[in-house]
Chain A
Amino acid sequence: MSLLRYESQVRPALVDGDKDYHQITEDICRPVEAKPSKLWWTGFIISVLFLGFGILSVTMEVIYGTGQWNLNRTVGWGWDITNFVWWVGIGHAGTLISAILLLFRQGWRTGVNRAAEAMTIFAVMCAGQFPIWHMGRVWNAFFVLPYPNTRGPLWVNFNSPLLWDVFAISTYFTVSLLFWYSGLIPDLATLRDRAKKKWAKHFYGVASFGWTGSTKHWQRHEALSLVLAGLSTPLVLSVHTIVSFDFATSVVPGWHTTIFPPYFVAGAIFSGFAMVQTLLVVTRKVLALEEYITLEHIEVMNKVIVLTGSIVGIAYLTELFMAWYSHVDYEWFAFKENRLNLASPYGWSYWIMMGCNVLSPQIFWFRKMRRNLVLTFFMSILINIGMWFERFVIIVTSVYRDYLPSAWSTYYRPTIWEVGFYMATFGLFFTCYFLFSKFFPVIAIAEIKHILKRSGQNYKDKMDVIEKESTAHFAEEQMHEH
């Protein structure tokens, strides 16, 4: 076992420029240690304003009940659950990058994983708001937990997909948070040891848990990361599977299909990567981290987008085909009349979804397009919109006309408070993201150092075997000596 693993010259460098370990620390810590810029303050204040309006919207809903929203007899889920599924989906890219790509030993994840994991946590925080406030009497929200109560005790229904969701989302949030923070501890220790200001010394001292960088600790840290990645990988698949069960286990036309779990998971990764692009294209520019989040990273993520976008596209077509092929009148009606038919009340939303999610990402088959930052940013927004409409189409077009034509609802459009609630989560998300990008290193410092001598530009050219004697051999020899 040699110290350095040979990496082909064909693979582009993951860290550009002439870097050494200290330079990496300097580059990544600079935005944290500098005073926040005017741009940061502007963004932060706008986010807080959004959050403020959102809090007002939610307060209105709490005072007057869910009647403040335009939900009606058949459309009981509307914007609220659309937004829930959308945010949960966005979260998935972070876990995919940090966990699945860790298991696949993809070096490029190191540049983007920290920010993507933070995005996951904030997105799940936003997602969690929707089912909670949708309960109406939110002060009874703790009823979803199986705790010994005075009503019997009457336990929650463990057979219900909605309860599975409670467990899935809370587990997902907890595990993502632990994974993210355990990775952050060594980097916070770096900031602690560099800190000059008193408050920073104290803050990073507390936050870094007394990390020293001992070899034994690193060994355990590596083991922990690997097992957490192994746990998070099936977890992330299970979470969106369970979210899709909210729909798939019902008997509503358009929902009752077995394709939902894989289709939702692909869609989640698709939208999540779009959100990662939205954030990182801006972050790398503003924080001057272009040498760490390189065009290669952007391109690789665009490849993931075109792949998952196409999987989603195939899922749409399969679902459509099965609706026709099944000869179930209700199923086919939901697709033909409520979705495909552009002249139907919500036909437009189906075609927005198709256009944004299936057609537009196909442009990423071209290398030049994948490496175009402006296009990438534009596409990421388009995909986010498209994926929002996917959930809207699933939820609203399936239920606004149910089995009884007499119950067909009037046209559902959200009230200002529903829109405000959605804006609230944007406020929450970006407030958190701005604070994160100011106080925490947005790139995993230790992990970048770890890959530097393998994938750094200035090392790739002069890579040679460092050790004449293999470490494994030496360890063996020592073991026999003592």
Chain B
Amino acid sequence: MAVKKFVTGSFYDEAVLFPAVKKTRRAGYKIHDVFTPFPIHGLDKAMGLRDTSLHTAGFIYAITGTTTAVGFITWALTVDWRINFGGKPFFALPAWIPITFELTVLFSAVGMVLTFCYLCQLAPFVKKDHFNPRSTDDTFVMALECTDKTNDAEAISFLQSIGGQDVQVQYKETGWWLGRYDKDTKRFERKEEAAH
């Protein structure tokens, strides 16, 4: 991942942040991301992010679990090794419902958490660049990505005008961390050419 140039501003109140997000988008700036210490409902909508499909993934994992359980138990008890439990039918579906249910939940939960971690690139020992360490405390940090058309001074004064505090230019490497390919690039290293 290449190092990119950002203009960041801090906000301390949702009442300022929301109008600011709207103004920024209206003004045509590209919001890289807004980092918040807690989930703010509606912010994703305001930023124009699409809904997550994690639910769908969860459903697919769930039916995988159901199929695995029913399929495996059916095979084990009716095909592979039939055991006569007190003359009951070999295909005893009602008795398998508890395990089928548990595996449905297990597959869905484990699959969703792994998918979540993959999508958000979260894993033990992963370290990411932080625009402002206070963004996990009480600060909402909005980062505007600078493209070659962006006028830095203009972006800075714009962020200040919409209520951003502590506005500054930062060079950060963001993006996908699992399986980074440019191992020679040191993080936190300032790369001027990236901005151009």
Contacts and interface: CB of A to CB of B under 8 A. Distances in A.
Interface of A: 1, 3, 20-22, 25, 146, 152-155, 157-159, 161, 163-164, 167-168, 171, 174-175, 178-179, 182, 185-186, 189-190, 192-194, 205-207, 209-224, 227-228, 231-232, 234-235, 238, 242, 245, 445-447, 449-450, 453, 466-467, 469, 471-472, 474-475, 478-479
Contacts of A152: 81
B35 A174 contact: no
A238 B77 contact: no
A213 B135 contact: yes
Contacts, number: 218
B122 to A, nearest CB: 4
A222 B127 CA distance: 22
Contacts of A471: 18, 42, 45-46
A3 B134 CA distance: 22
B77 A155 contact: yes
Interface in B7-40: 14-15, 18-19, 22, 25, 33-40
Interface in B59-108: 62, 72-73, 76-77, 80-81, 83, 85, 88, 92, 95-96, 98-99, 101-103, 105-106, 108
Q: Give the dominant DSSP class at B's interface.
A: helix
Contact of B98 (A3, A219, A238): A238
B18 A209 contact: no
Contacts of A167: 98-99, 102-103
Contacts of B136: 186, 189-190, 192-193, 211, 213
B119 interface: yes
A125 to B, nearest CB: 17
Contacts of B117: 209
B116 A221 contact: yes
B39 A175 contact: no
A264 B1 CA distance: 54
A471 B88 CA distance: 60
B15 A446 contact: no
A466 B76 contact: no
24 contacts: A3-B14, A21-B38, A22-B138, A155-B81, A159-B77, A168-B102, A175-B105, A182-B116, A185-B122, A193-B130, A209-B117, A211-B136, A213-B35, A215-B35, A218-B38, A221-B116, A222-B39, A231-B58, A231-B108, A235-B102, A446-B39, A447-B38, A466-B14, A466-B15
A238 B133 CA distance: 42
Nearest to B96: A158
The size class of the interface chain B forms with chain A is 35 or more
Given A192-B136, A215-B34, A227-B112, 16 more contacts: A146-B76, A158-B76, A164-B99, A168-B102, A171-B105, A174-B106, A174-B109, A178-B110, A210-B122, A211-B136, A214-B120, A215-B49, A218-B36, A227-B55, A238-B101, A445-B37
Contacts of B62: 231
B102 A215 contact: no
Nearest to B13: A466
Contacts of A227: 54-55, 58, 108, 112
B96 A193 contact: no
Contacts of B130: 193, 212
In the complex, which of the residues A186, A189, A222, A479 has the most CB atoms of chain B within 10 Å of its own CB atom? A189
A130 to B, nearest CB: 19
Nearest to A472: B45
A161 B37 CA distance: 45
A20 B119 CA distance: 31
